[in-house]
Structure formats: C-alpha cells, structure tokens
Amino acid sequence: MNILFVCSRNKWRSKTAESIFKSSQKHDVKSAGTSKTARIKLTETLLIWADIIFVMEEKHQQIIEKNFTQRSFSEKIVVLDIADEYQYMDEELVFILKLSVSNVVENL
C-alpha cells in the first residue's frame, strides 16, 4: 500500500510521519507539503500514487480539493487533526501519529 503524508511545509509533521513509517515492509511511504516553500511540494503525481493520503489538518484537504480538480482524491484522504505545534520527531507527535495512523491502516 502506498501512503502519503501531507502537511504545510513538509518539515516537521509529515516528515516525522514518513520517518516513522518508512521502514514498514508492508507499505511504501512518502511525504509532501502544500506550501510553495515546502521541502517536497505536493503534486498530482504523488496524489495519484497514494492509496491513502493522511493530511495533518482539514485545511490541507481543502487545498488538495481546490488545487487538484482534475480528479477527486477525497475518498483517499484521512484528516488526522494534528496542529502545527510540533518539531520534527517530537515525542508527543510520534505517539499521536503511531496511534492515529496504525488504527486506520489496520482497518484497511
């Protein structure tokens, strides 16, 4: 399964998620950001590649729906509701991501 994590700048939240889950033998994992200043910018190619898209906030889902109108990705999007208040690999962020993502992926 291809998993994509999305936040704004792809520096802390989505990058942390990618780092946590990239060693999985069951999944291929990538991350990207919605901002023009993102480390890796979100593209339609990445959205098409993904079987499931985890966005950190509802605004990221709205940006995807607004900027990528050629296809609908809404059925693949899961909003995690993780605010932009964590640094890369913050212990609390790692805990929240592991709990939230594992619950969704296990039910697929």
- What integer is the mean pLDDT of 87-96? 97
Contact call for residues 55 and 13 (beta carbons, < 8 A): no
Question: What is d(CA 19, CA 21) in angstroms, rounded to the nearest whole number?
Answer: 6
Q: d(Cα 8, Cα 14) in Å, to the nearest integer?
A: 8
Q: pLDDT by residue (tens digit) across 34-61?
A: 999 999 999 999 999 999 999 999 999 9
Q: What is the pLDDT of residue 70?
A: 86
pLDDT confidence of 11, banded at 50, 70, 90? very high
What is the gyration radius of the CA atoms in the chain, in angstroms? Answer: 13
- Give bridge partners of residue 55 from the DSSP assignment: 6, 79
Task: Label the pairing between strands 52-55 and 2-7.
Answer: parallel
Looking at this protein, which amino acid is placed at residue 95?
A: F
Q: Amino acid identity of 80? A: L
pTM as predicted: 0.95
